[in-house]
Copies of this chain bind each other. A is one copy, B any other.
């Protein structure tokens, strides 16, 4: 999963932030985004692996935030769900006898790396609390 992950994850986290005292069920969360609960649970599994949320199994179980929303940045969320932005690479092995084909991917990589630094700097300045408080 690439597309969707970030949007689903930030949606989950925003809901958790809005209900800081409750364990929210994947069914409830999925209802807000009109999505299959299994997909929500998959993203929650990812968040748990990063110790961002904790969840409780069994009846009346669910998930709640395990970190301070003021200290969790969108950059961290981005890194947990997207890795990097970019505009694509040459898909097939380009012709190694052509100076352009041989090096194109490396130069694209350099370009995208700078893009990620810029975007990362932007996202680092926004906390989950900031984002959530817009609603």
A122–B131 CB distance below 8 A: no
Complex: A82 Cα to B86 Cα, angstroms: 10
Identical chains in the assembly? 2
Interface size, chain A (Cβ < 8 Å): 48
Q: Contact at A3–B88, with CB atoms within 8 Å?
A: yes
Q: Which of B95, B107, B134 contacts A32 (CB 8 A)?
A: B95
CA distance A92 to B31 in the complex (A): 11
Is A23's beta carbon under 8 Å from chain B? no
Contact flag A7-B93 (CB < 8 Å), given A32-B98, A99-B135, A100-B32:
no
- From A11-19, A47-55, A56-64, the one touching the partner chain is A11-19
Contact B14 A100 (CB under 8 A): yes
